[in-house]
Each structure stands twice: as C-alpha cells, then as structure tokens.
Structure 1
Amino acid sequence: MPTIKDVAAKAGVSTATVSRVINGEKVREETKEKVIKTIKLLGYRPNQIARSLKTQKTHTIGFVVPDYGQFFMQIAKVVEDILNGYGYSLVVCYSDENPDREKARIRMLTEKQVDGMLVVPTSDEDNYIMELNKRGIPVILIDRMVKDIQTDCVLVDNVNGAYQAVEHLITKGYQRIGVINGRQEVTTGEERYRGYLRVFEDYNLPIDRDIIRFGDFSTESGYTLMKELMSLQNPPEAVFIANCYMTIGAMLAIKEMDIKVPEDVAIVGFDDTELTRLSDPPLTAVVQPVREIGEMAANLLYKRICGDMSDYPKMYRLKATLVVRASTDPGWKADIIEKKGA
C-alpha cells in the first residue's frame, strides 16, 4: 500500500506539502493539482482517524437531498468525484421533502462533525443555516434557496427555463396551455410558476385559472392532477409540468386514459431523464446543467472549508436549456414515416 512518502517522492514535493494538500490547507494551485493527480495515480489512502485527531477535521461532507432520484444522484456523483480529489468523503441522506426530517438529518450530520454541508432545502425556514454558521460549518444551498437570508447558493434560472418551455408551446400554436406545478413554498415551484405566468403577460394572452394545478413534486401528484386536467369539459391543448417526477405521473395518467401525445395534448417537462427520452413519444424537456451544478457546489464548499470567504455570499444562477422532441410536434410521426420511406 502506497504511503505519503511514496506520493511525495513521485510528485517531487515534500511530505509536508502532501499533508497540506490532503488537509485542505493553502498550497499553490499547480502543486496541489500535481499532488492530487499523484494520489489518484498511486491509489493512496490517508489514515482518516489519525488525520481527524491531528486536524480536528473528519474530512467528511454531508449532502441532504429531497429524494434519491436521478437528478440529485447525478449531482451527488459529480460532487463526490471532486471532493474525493481533495481527500473528502461524501455522506448523502434524504429529507423526503419533509422539513422535520430535514432538520433531523442536518442535526445528525452536525453530530457526526462533518466539515461542510450541501443542502437542498425543503422550506423557507432558515434556522438550521444560522445554527451551522454559528458552529463554523460551511453550508451551500443547491437547487433551491431560502428567502431573506444571505448564504452561498448554486441555483438554476428556473424562471427563464419555464418561460422557454411555455413560449415554445405558444410558438407551436397552442393556446390553452395548462401547468402542473410544485409546492410554492420552495423556490423552484414559485420561480417556475412565475416563468409560466410571465409568458402570458409578455404575449398579452389570457391566463385560464381552470387549467392551473399545484402538486408536491411527486409522481402521485402528477398522476392525479393530469387526470383532473384531462377530465375537464374543455381540457388543455398542452401542459407544462414543473419536474420529472410529476411528468412521469402525468404520462402514466395519459397512458391510462388512452390519450395521445402530442395529438390530443402536448407535453413539456422540467428536468431530463432517461425516462423522458425513452417515452413514446420522447418528451420535450427543460434540461438543467447537472455537471456544472455539482462542480460549482463542490469547489465552492471546498473553498469555504479552506477558510476563503472572499466573495461570501456567492450565488450562481446557471442557465437551463430547452430540448425539443416529439411530445410537442403533432407532425412528428408523419415526418418519421416520410424519412423512412425516402
């Protein structure tokens, strides 16, 4: 098994320099990259117990997510890859969109003496952020922010993402455009709804409250609310659905009701997963920059752990992209047939 001396010899630095890199202390960027590359090459694993006793750090990061679905697990994978390179381990636990469970998970991670925390908040309550700050534990909010509090965040531009989705439907000629949105007490739900409304204002179109529904971001709510919408005497021509789970539920309802997409109703979802791409027809979706979210959150947290607070609080707003597929194009099947016969 390689030792710290082996890493130092291979990288051409002192063992003290290797130790400083492992412990997150300030080292020249060029030297740090060389040491990290050597650690990975040799497969060196430091003695975590000895390090903790010496540095008063556990070299562990906590990540509290609402669920173990694909979106947050993709972010977790990127975060873990980056933090492993800095000598940190990642512990992921979920809140199940429950504020009490979220507080319990944060309390547990605090008791485990994690060196930093990434949190996807389930509500606007900010008590835990203040408590973590008092304890000197850096915290980065991901995907959602907590209103009226200054803290580091890595977010997506939800308003413009939703706007792109609904504007696309309008430009395709759809007029009665419904929405299945998430909880308004979290910023993703509130911002995506704001983007939906803004399109109608900009295009000077009436807003039909009969085809607006609010769920809780779950598959079950997407299923129930799509059934409600499509059972109306005058159902929507198109529906924007504000996350992947509700989109899956909505598609299950549509299949059960024998409704054709996009002939009977066009669908645009927020979030892009294998299921949206493999559905029949493939779904038009707002794609979030998962890798960029994970990279920015991990590097920002490491910066804070190292004591660099120079730009605190830092907020990143990353751009989402609309990917157009067959679920919003009534002529899609005809085009496919025509191409096959050519």
Structure 2
Amino acid sequence: MESTTPDYNYTYDDDDEKPVGPCNRDSDNLLGAQLSTIYYFMFLFSLFGNGLVLVIIHRFEKLTTVTNILLLNLVVSSLIFMSSLPFLGVYKQLSNWIFGKVMCKIVGSVYYLGFYSSVLFLTLLTFDRHLAVVYSMGGSQVRNQRYALLSCAVVWLVSGLACIPQMILHTTFIHHMTNKTLCQEHPGYLTFVDADKLRDSRFYLQLFLFLLFPLIVIVYCYIRIAITVISSKIVTKFKTVRLIFIIVLLFFICWTPFNVVQLLPDEDLSCEELQKRGYALQVTRDIAYIYFCISPIFYTFVGRKFQSYFRQLLVKRFPGLKKHISVSQVSRTSMSTKSTQNEL
C-alpha cells in the first residue's frame, strides 16, 4: 500500500544549501486517484470470476486431487487480495483514511497476505507441474492429498508471518502539512519496536522470498518441463501444463514491473525523479492489480475441462442456449483429475 498524499521533499540549491521549496506530488497522486476508480470494477469482476471458478470446482471436480486443492487456495488468495481494493479506492480518491486505525491494519495485512500467498501458490503450482511431468512415475507417489494440504498450510503460514512487519508498521497518523489522516507505513520511529530493522526485513523478504526465489524456481521448472515435453513428444503432456504456464507468465508480466519500481531506492532523488517514480508506481501497480481480475478467465477458458463445465452451467441456467452451445455430458467421476495427463 502506497501513500496517496503529497510527498513534500525539500530540494536544495547547490550554492547556499537552503531549501527552495517542497516537492509537490499532486500530479502523480491525482493520476492515482483517477486510476483508482477502476478498483471497484476490478473487485466486482474478480468476485464474479473467482466465484465462478469456485462454483465449477465445487460442482464438477473433486477436492481430493493435488491440482484442484492448489487452484482452490490460489483463488482464495486472489479473493483475499481483491477484498482490499474498495477500501484503497476510497482512500486514494479522498487522500484521507476514514475507516479507522484497526481497519487500516486489517486492510494492509489482507493486501499483503493476498499478494504473498498468490506468489507462493503460483510457485507451488509450477513445482507441482514439474513433479507431474518430469517425474511422472515417482512424482505420483509424492503428489497426494497430504502433500497438497501440507504444502498449502506452509504457504499460508509463511505468508502470514511475512505480513507481521507490515501489520506493525502500517498505522494511521496525521500528515502535518495537509492535516489528513494517512494509512500507510509509518515513516518515523516507533517507540515499541525498531522500525528500521522491520523495514529492512520487509524489503529483503519481498525481494528474495517473493520475487527472486519464485522467479528462479519457475524458470527452472519450466525449462525442465519443456525439455521433457519436447523429448517425449506427447501432446497430452503439453496440454496439461498449458494452463499453469499461461497463468504464471501472466502473473510475472503484470507483477514484475511493479516490484522492480517499488524496490527502487528513493533516497537522494530529485523532485522530478520522485515524480517520475510516482507515475511509474501508479501505472505499474494498477497493471499488477488487473492480474487478479483476469486470471479467472484463464482458469475457465484455457482448460478444456473448465470450458466444458462452464458450458454445462450455462445450459442448465439458460436452457434456450442448448441449441447454440455444444455440451458434452461427462460425469464428475470420469472428468475428475485422477491422472497427471487429465488434471487440467
């Protein structure tokens, strides 16, 4: 969560080293306020799209398979993240936090919990595809319900622990120049904790655990998967990894620019450079948020099984569409993911 209020950084004249005036950030904050109007549409679209995926998994799939358990947790983490957007939309448009200190900490924690868990679940899904394709025989012995549930529990635990610095640092305080209430990481010192160490831990956690580590794991896994698929020349194996590959690729296209800009140091930057960084943050942040809205489309329409399930739901809800939509009636048992080749 970023500040939505002007950042008054004083610049200095080289000759007399006196402050020549505040760095007015109204322009990039105004852009952020204008862009935030789409947060409400993002939230509603995500609620519908992710809800549709949950309905399909509940109605047609078995939650005893590894892929379905991981996908279910990924959808839940996306919903957790998107639940923070209506509050952030109001905050950015008013440049004033009106929901109180407790909600400030809750919304900030939910924001990062959804983000962190989504990154790790995507990494886990990719690693699971790697086991299923590269070690198709031995991997099936490891990939069981206990493995999936334990992996999900670890992801939620790690994500929750990683949110502790954010929960402590995020608070409400009055901006001394605008007299408005802010809800963000406190910029000063905290009496009960070493704020600098917490900020450093947050920075390195986000850089290594939630950006570099997932990127390395995902690249390695897909190189191994690609080698295996090309050498085996089995078309069905290629189709089983297509959905996860698109989801993961889309995630990093949307999230990497925001992470890179966010992790850039802002010390010793001129006012003009701070404004440019502010514009970059506003744009890349909203591109990153869009991922959580459009990912359900890929869950639903890239996988062949999800396409069939969706058509069945449409025909059942609107019988008049039956003459226009081809529906293959397949039972839950026959279409549940019992084998590696049919999981997606």
Q: When the two structures are superposed, what TM-score results if normalisation uses the length of structure 2?
A: 0.25
More helix by share: 2
Flag the structure with more relative contact order, 1 or 2, with Cα contacts below 8 A and sequence separation at least 6: 2
Greater share of strand: 1
